[in-house]
Amino acid sequence: MSEQTVSRPAGASRSASAPSRPATARRRGSVVKWVLVAALLGFLLVFPLYFDEFWLRTGFAVFGAAIGAIGLNLLVGTTGQLSLAHAFFLAVGAVSYTYISGESGGLGTRAGIEGLGLPPVVGMVVGVLLAGLAGLVFSPIAARLRGIYLGVASLGLVFIGVHVINTWTPVTGGFNGRAAPEFSLFGFTFGNSDPQLFVLGVPFREAERLWYLGLVLALAAYVFARNLLRSRPGRALQTLRDSEVAASVMGVNVQAHKARVFLVSSMYAGLSGVLYALSIGSIAPESFTLVVSIQYLAMIVLGGLGSVGGAALGALFVTALPLLFQQYADVLPLVSAPGQGGISAGFAARFLYGAAIILIVLFEPAGLAGIAQRLTSRFRRGRAPARGGVATPPPEQPGSAPTPSDRPAQGSDTR
């Protein structure tokens, strides 16, 4: 995750300093970067061969959450539109998937439940599209609202969404929820068997298969978002965040761009919702409450607003933490299994990320991505002490060393 923050000051200073940076340093930096990326990818690829089901399930949940967080970050971090409606768009994706690919009817409580029984791929694609459509429908409202009004208005969508899930039983399963169908791709099921599969002697069951599905989708989501941010529309969105007036003067169509970023962000949320349904195996109203929206907000704040890699890191932190606490409840101090006096795993995790949000906003607004970037830039500069204040340090700015002459401060990188 050595990619740079795209938050404006850091990004601006980087592009400004790039030409003056000596080629050797640049080459060393990019080699280190590629080695790190390759190592991370390799690790993720062989992960299922060495770790058991718990880790794989946690990993799949993290991949799903990372996709949602990247989407929310495009909206909140990059474009500056505070949205608490993310849980709603997740719900649209998850519900559409279960309805389109689920089977009708059944025994007992499932009697009133309907489903179209189409292939899961269709369910996933249509789920993503419908979530995008929901975002597009909401965007005219969103485009009229500024800043904080949007935050609270989007809060309303979450409550309306939960109400609909509770009420619309044939589609959503109502209060008790319904099971999500197993995923399959052109005849290859992501279940425990059919076909039996062994790789290097390791049985590939549901968890292993889903891991790779999640990995591929999360990587695609990551690459798409990064490319988007570096493209013309991406720059437009960042300008929009900094000043709507300036953006429109520069020829950016404010309303259209807001609508588009809502569309993209909700499509991300829809995909994340589908993966969530797959990872839990069912959907229920309590999976899409305000708490979920706030969790996603926590992810992107912790990771660093505007940073794609940061969003993924934040997703890892917020999603994996409660699961880890649960798994190691007896080892950790203060944390205990439910009903044993101590703080239960879910609560402990919430305390931790609540505190983390406050600390990050107070002391490191660029989030984990900011910290990571400072570390890598220190490494690249030959362990020269990193300078810069707390807020968005300009780590690669050669001018951070005093330069008496008006020449560009060449060589300050190779100290």
Partner 1 sequence: MTQFLSLLLNGLSLGAIYALIALGFVIIFKASEVVSFTHGSLLLLGAYSIARLSGTLGFLGAVLVGLVITALAAFVVERFIINRLRGAPVISLAIVTIGVDIILLTELIRRIGPDILNVPHPWGGQSVRIGGIGITQNRLVAMVVAGILIVLFFVAFKYSSWGVAMRASAEDGETAALMGIRQGRVSALAWVVAGVLAGVAALFLVGSPTPGVSSAVYATALRAFPAAILGGLDSTGGALVGGLLIGVAESLAAGYQENLLFLGRGFGEVVPYVVMIAVLLVRPSGLFGTKELTRV
Please give the residue ranges that form the binding site for partner 1 (CB under 8 A). Answer: 76, 80, 82, 141, 144-149, 151-153, 155-157, 159-160, 163-164, 166-168, 244-245, 249, 290, 294, 297-298, 301, 343-344, 347, 350-351, 353-358, 361-362, 365
Residue 346 CB, shortest distance to partner 1, in Å, is: 9
Residue 329 CB, shortest distance to partner 1, in Å, is: 15
Closer CB to partner 1, residue 10 or residue 215?
10
- Asked if 112 and 169 touch (Cβ cutoff 8 Å), the reply is yes
Residue 113 CB, shortest distance to partner 1, in Å, is: 16
Q: Where are the beta strands (DSSP E) in 107-170?
A: none
Residue 388 CB, shortest distance to partner 1, in Å, is: 18
Angle, helices 53-73 vs 206-230, to 10°: value is 20
- Asked if 300 and 69 touch (Cβ cutoff 8 Å), the reply is yes
Which residues are within 8 A (CB) of 341 and not within 5 positions of it... i.e. 6 or more apart?
A: none
Task: Provide the β-strand partners of residue 335.
Answer: 343
Closer CB to partner 1, residue 207 or residue 315?
315
Closer CB to partner 1, residue 263 or residue 294?
294
Q: Which helix (H) or strand (E) holds 167?
A: helix 147-167
Distances (CA, A) of 344 to 120, 358, 384, 385: 36, 22, 44, 41
Residue 182 CB, shortest distance to partner 1, in Å, is: 30
Closer CB to partner 1, residue 123 or residue 393?
393
Residue 38 burial (CB < 10 Å; 0-12/13-18/19+)? exposed
Closer CB to partner 1, residue 160 or residue 199?
160
Using CA atoms, how far apart are residues 315 and 303, in angstroms rounded to an integer? 8
Residue 2 CB, shortest distance to partner 1, in Å, is: 25
Using CA atoms, how far apart are residues 320 and 364, in angstroms rounded to an integer? 22
Complete DSSP assignment for 204-222: --HHHHHHHHHHHHHHHHH
Using CA atoms, how far apart are residues 336 and 328, in angstroms rounded to an integer? 9
Closer CB to partner 1, residue 116 or residue 160?
160
Closer CB to partner 1, residue 361 or residue 375?
361
Residue 385 CB, shortest distance to partner 1, in Å, is: 26
Closer CB to partner 1, residue 77 or residue 270?
77
Residue 109 CB, shortest distance to partner 1, in Å, is: 17
Using CA atoms, how far apart are residues 40 and 16, in angstroms rounded to an integer? 29
Using CA atoms, how far apart are residues 250 and 235, in angstroms rounded to an integer? 11
Residue 325 CB, shortest distance to partner 1, in Å, is: 13
Using CA atoms, how far apart are residues 38 and 53, in angstroms rounded to an integer? 24
Closer CB to partner 1, residue 156 or residue 203?
156
Task: Name the amino acid, one letter, at 398.
Answer: P
Using CA atoms, how far apart are residues 76 and 221, in angstroms rounded to an integer? 17
Q: Which helix (H) or strand (E) holds 196?
A: none
